[in-house]
Structure 1
Amino acid sequence: MSFNVGLSGLAAANKALDVTGNNIANVATTGFKSSRAEFADEYAASIRGTSGKTTVGSGVTTAAVSQQFTQGNIESTGNSLDMAINGNGFFVLSDNGSKLYTRAGAFYSDKSGNIVDASGNNLQGYTTDTTGKLTSGVLSNLAIDTSNLAPKATTSVSETVNLNSSETTPTVTPFSASNTSSYNYTFNTDVYDSQGNAHQLNQYFVKDDTANSWTMYTTIDGVNPTDPTSTTPLANPVSFNSDGSYSYTAGAVTGGLTVNADGTYSLAGWVPAAEQSDGTYASNGASATADITLDMSNLTQYNSTSATTAKDQDGYATGELSALSVSDTGQLTATFTNGKTNVIGQVALANFANVQGLSPAGGTDWRETYASGVPVIGTPSTGTMGSLTASSLEDSNVDLTAELVNLIKAQSNYQANAKTISTESTIMQTTIQMT
């Protein structure tokens, strides 16, 4: 009996050494979760039962090697595709269609733009549709589109402008864009044609003799927007109420911009042009005509310096991918050289009712089992899912000091159980010699 008890103790001590050694070996492995050897005592069984007062145990057996899913330290790396989970959850990977789950968030972009781990497994999440909106429901392989962002022609411009009510009518007439003494205030707004070429929308304001009245002159690149062969600007009267607020009368204006019912201006039939070698302007090949809506509802006339405090427009030039970022909710955002940003994907996380039931698959990956239950899929920072820390990785959760202590304990246990066997051997030798 003592031989078997001692042997079971040696096996248990050896198992503890294996587990501890594996933990120590993976102390620097990203996303690694330590294991713990758990043991249970053994007793002989009889159909007639046993007396609790005289029963002697039969040794020890390994009950389980449980994984410890405690949080590891999060270390910054500076790599844009490195991600660390702070809290519950696992990254979802696809290994040729087979699902894997991991806490190791070191990802890369392969030659095709797919986001993969070091083993080539695809990171999964939610992609965007043709309109740029995130899809939901079905997980897909996340990828980075490295092609240029297509340009967008300007269709609307909004401006917040104040004209100084103390201004007087210019002494130089008629208006000329080249003579600063013929107007009171001017500003420019960059607009874009369908090919992404930048143009300057020029607006000039001239104080009229009539109180609360001005004239706005509009050109693009210094020429008439609808006729690039003409330098004659479009002209619109601009009126204000006695309190300085903008006043308008809707309708078409001969030689000017159409005033819409909501007070915005319509620049219809703009012909994007480029300057020729002889100094004239001609169509540059972009869409023959384009329409722009000018929202100047925030135009005011107060006794303050004439100034443009805000302006915006919805067009942009073509852009090249310049940077990637990941939010704490897992949204992947691409930044382009033209200053635009687009959400290109959403990282998904998986959680399980019983994480102890997951089966280690190597490479700091796990597989779903019957014991773990089916995965619950969600996005970071929702429900029970943890948040993401961008440009960071989760360290191994191995406590090296504790593991070294466990190593000493396992060694002592091994020596003690070996002593049990050697003692039993000595007793048997003595018994034999007595015969």
Structure 2
Amino acid sequence: MSFTIAIRGLNAVSAQLNTISNNIANADTVGYKSGRENFSALYVNGAGNGVLDQGTQQSLGTNGSIVSGASSLDLAISGKGFFVLQDTSGGQKFSRAGYVQVDKDGFLVNNTGLKYEGYPSGTSTGAVGPIQIPQTQDTATLSGVNLDEKGTVQATYTNGDTVNVGQVALASFANMDQLKPEDGTLWRATESSGAAQFGIAQTGILGSLHNGSLESSNVDLTSELVNLMSAQRNYQANTKVISTDSSMFTALFQAI
């Protein structure tokens, strides 16, 4: 039995080491949320039978620090909101990494080309959709784009006119811990998380926006290194149990 318990322990610690390593590797990734491995005790017929890995849980409720972005269009959220992004198939994804740029068709997109969704100018309720900035107005052409701290998208044209063309939407969830990770900075809604509730910055729990800024990862490197050393000791302890079991069985078979 001790051999089986040790094998389960090794599998659990291996998963923990992978999670810790992923956290450390993404310490400088904008919008990344650290994860931790959850464990529970396993019992068989009332007797302890090792540990069971319950999977990784990301710390979605903990904000990272606000840092300066490379672009004046970049946005960071202070609060529990998520940016709403549309993928190439029309599905919605959610992110905290607020890289913002304008593509060749005038759509507001992130650094991987996913389109930001929001509300048309003058509305802040109802359905959200991709934000597209008109490239011309009358005989004037687009000369600049600005985002304010409420997520309002302002387009400036060569005739000097400035027009509000939309407002970036934010989403919240009844149980955001149940969002399904697509990668370290992108999630999708699940039945357990509940459907996205849309709104704008500075309302409800969605939080505030900081323009020209980005949210850094919430990884605490000191804690991760301490956890790494602890996990390594646990790994060594479990391998020692397996080695001892193997030696005992070898001696037993030789005696027989």
With structure 1 as the length reference, what TM-score do the two structures score? Answer: 0.56
User: Are positions 1:396 and 2:213 aligned together?
Assistant: no
Counterpart pick for 2:180 among 347, 352, 359:
359
Q: Structure 1 residues 363, 34: CA separation in 2 closer, same or farther (over 3 Å shift)?
A: closer
Match of 1:172 in 2: none
Which residue of structure 2 lines up, in the alignment, with residue 104 of structure 1?
97
Cα deviation, residue 121, structure 1: 1.3
Q: CA deviation at 1:2?
A: 0.8
Kindly indicate whether structure 1 or structure 2 has the higher relative contact order, using CA contacts under 8 Å at least 6 residues apart: 2
Is 2:189 aligned against 1:372? no
| Residue 56 (structure 2) aligned to one of 52, 56, 65 | 65
State the shift of 1:338 in Å.
5.0
Larger Rg belongs to = 1
Instruction: Report if the CA contact (8 A) 2:124-2:200 is conserved.
Output: no
Number of the residue aligned with 1:8: 8
Alignment of 1:41-190 (within 5 A): 41-45=41-45, 50=46, 55=47, 57-69=48-60, 70-95=62-87, 96-128=89-121, 133-134=122-123, 136-148=125-137, 150=138
Report the Cα distance in structure 2 between the residues aligned to 1:385 and 1:413, rounded to whole angstroms.
Answer: 40
| 1:18 matched residue in structure 2 | 18
Instruction: Assess if the C-alpha contact under 8 Å between 2:33 and 2:184 holds in 1.
Output: no
Query: Do residues 346 (structure 1) and 143 (structure 2) align?
Result: no
Q: Which amino acid aligns with 1:145?
A: P
Q: Tell me, yes or no, if the aligned pair for 2:151 and 2:201 is still in contact at 8 Å.
A: yes
Name the CA distance, whole Å, in 2 between partners of 1:347 and 1:123: 7
1:37 aligns with 2:37: yes
1:414 to 202, 226, 235: 235
Residue 125 of structure 2 contacts residue 199 of structure 2 at CA under 8 Å; is this kept in 1?
Answer: no
Deviations 1:22-80 (A, max 9, x none): 111211211111100011111112xxxx5xxxx4x111111231110210111112513
Change in CA separation of 1:336 and 1:120 when aligned onto 2, cut-off 3 Å: same
- 3-state DSSP of counterpart to 1:383: coil
Q: Deviations over 1:376-410 (max 9, x none)?
A: 11111111111110011111111122212222111
Counterpart-to-counterpart distance in 1, 2:185 and 2:156: 31
Question: Mind listing any 5+ residue stretches in structure 1 that lack a counterpart?
Answer: 151-317
Which moved further from structure 2: 104-113 or 77-86?
77-86
> How big is the alpha-carbon RMSD for the aligned residues of Structure 1 and Structure 2?
1.8
Distance in 2, Cα, partners of 1:319 & 1:345: 19
* C-alpha separation in 1, matches of 2:153 and 2:250: 73
Counterpart code for 1:85: I
Q: In structure 2, the residue corresponding to 1:427 is in which secondary structure?
A: helix
TM-score in terms of structure 2 length:
0.92
Match of 1:221 in 2: none
How many angstroms does 1:319 deviate by? Answer: 5.5
CA contact (8 A) 1:94 1:121 kept: yes
Q: Could you tell me how far apart the structure 2 residues matched to 1:426 and 1:417 are?
A: 14
Please state how far the C-alpha of 1:143 moved relative to its aligned partner.
Answer: 1.6
1:341-376 Cα distance to aligned partner (Å, 9 max, x none):
321110101111111111111262111111111111
